[in-house]
Chains A and B, each alone.
Chain A
Amino acid sequence: NAGVTQTPKFQVLKTGQSMTLQCAQDMNHEYMSWYRQDPGMGLRLIHYSVGAGITDQGEVPNGYNVSRSTTEDFPLRLLSAAPSQTSVYFCASSYGGTRQPQHFGDGTRLSIL
């Protein structure tokens, strides 16, 4: 059982480049979320989805796009990378409902030069 899989694990980009962080889960979870974590800080919600075709903004959505065409996948796109987006990105998934715990991936460490 793979759980939540994030790729790549590490990435270095130049300012202005675009890229897509991949997130896949094999638990048939309805809910998926993207968080970023800056050094020494907690997690901040970027975007989230409560099902295929449904996405919404979190606390810090600017500079990021998401789509949810399948239940399994929830990619995060950086449109034009900026040094301020240097961070560790975590994807999480869960069943719907307030009781359900979130399962997190191992993260993508992204550096923007």
Chain B
Amino acid sequence: DAKTTQPNSMESNEEEPVHLPCNHSTISGTDYIHWYRQLPSQGPEYVIHGLTSNVNNRMASLAIAEDRKSSTLILHRATLRDAAVYYCILRKTNAGKSTFGDGTTLTVKP
């Protein structure tokens, strides 16, 4: 299965933009890139997904490299409530089997 690689941790200041990177060098042509986040003591929640083009929604933006081997989740103005573990996963053709890595723990400083 294609794996993703993320930094273990990142820090940001409140109200500043945050760029969370993810490498997925073995991505296949039909794999969608999904991002989730997990707040303390909660289950993961969906953030955004994309295939080739950059995507925006109310929570974040997703920038996908032209060769699709990496992507970046962008939080435009970090708030204290954005402190969480962020997971980048590949949703494959056999989409029933999605595997998560250890994610990036984002700390937001006031």
Using a CB–CB distance below 8 Å, which chain A residues touch chain B? 31, 33, 35, 41-45, 48-50, 56, 58-59, 90, 92, 94, 96-107
Give chain B nearest CB distance to A109 CB in angstroms.
Answer: 9
Assess whether B96 is in contact with A90, with CB atoms less than 8 Å apart.
no
Assess whether A104 is in contact with B43, with CB atoms less than 8 Å apart.
yes
Q: Given the complex of chains A and B, what is the CA–CA distance between A102 and B43 in angstroms? A: 11
Tally chain B residues at the interface, Cβ within 8 Å: 27
Which residues of A have CB within 8 Å of B95?
Answer: 31, 94, 96-98, 100
Which residues of B have CB within 8 Å of A35?
Answer: 100
Using a CB–CB distance below 8 Å, which chain B residues touch chain A? 30-32, 34, 36, 42-46, 49, 51, 85, 87, 91-103
Which residues of A have CB within 8 Å of B100?
Answer: 35, 42-45
Give chain A nearest CB distance to B23 CB in angstroms.
Answer: 16
Assess whether A98 is in contact with B97, with CB atoms less than 8 Å apart.
no
Which residues of A have CB within 8 Å of B98?
Answer: 33, 45, 102
Q: Given the complex of chains A and B, what is the CA–CA distance between A18 and B45 in angstroms? A: 30
Assess whether A56 is in contact with B96, with CB atoms less than 8 Å apart.
yes
Q: What are the 9 tightest A-B residue pairs by CB atom distance, in nearest-first order?
A: A104-B43, A101-B46, A42-B102, A50-B96, A43-B100, A98-B32, A98-B91, A48-B96, A31-B96
